[in-house]
């Protein structure tokens, strides 16, 4: 069902500083900053030849990554995003297999303008999984 690794997401305490570090120390190409108030995050993408790294900063008090940053004040790996061809078919197949889809189960629009869903980390070995319809 899953296809390419779309991105690995890191929560960082300071997006500008993290982007600068990836740009200057690692020589990476960084996308412009996007604010996604529906997701409670500010995001940039580090463009790599074979995938992307999503750097996330808390946006607003209700941000879903706030608790993660409180537990990991210097930042850390937050989720993996796999591509799927059909997100509703993938969701139904996963639910039938007993996996928990976070939220109300309806896909939201992600940072690439495409539908995304998140799967409970306890169902996948302690790692939060995002599915994005490619």
What distance in Å separates the CA atoms of residue 121 and residue 119, rounded to the nearest whole number? 6
What distance in Å separates the CA atoms of residue 121 and residue 17, rounded to the nearest whole number? 28
User: Which residue bears the tokens 């940039």?
Assistant: 44
Interface positions with Co ion (CB under 5 A): 9, 54, 81, 130
Q: How far is the CB of 15 from Co ion (least distance, A)?
A: 14
What distance in Å separates the CA atoms of residue 47 and residue 73, rounded to the nearest whole number? 25
Q: How far is the CB of 98 from Co ion (least distance, A)?
A: 23
Annotation says 35 is catalytic: no
Catalytic residue among 54, 57, 83, 130: 130
Q: Which is nearer to Co ion, 54 or 83 (CB)?
A: 54
Which residues are part of the catalytic machinery?
130
């Amino acid at each position: 069902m899953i296809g390419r690794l779309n991105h690995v997401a890191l929560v960082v305490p300071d997006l500008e500083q993290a982007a600068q570090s990836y740009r200057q120390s690692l020589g990476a190409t960084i996308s412009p900053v996007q604010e996604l108030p529906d997701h409670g995050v500010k995001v940039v993408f580090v463009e790599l030849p074979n995938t992307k790294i999503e750097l996330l900063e808390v946006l607003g008090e209700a941000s879903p990554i706030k608790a993660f940053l409180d537990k990991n004040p210097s930042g850390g790996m937050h989720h993996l995003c796999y591509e799927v061809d059909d997100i509703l078919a993938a969701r139904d197949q996963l639910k039938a297999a007993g996996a928990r889809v976070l939220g109300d189960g309806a896909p939201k629009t992600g940072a690439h303008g495409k539908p995304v869903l998140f799967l409970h980390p306890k169902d996948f070995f302690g790692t939060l999984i995002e599915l994005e319809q490619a």
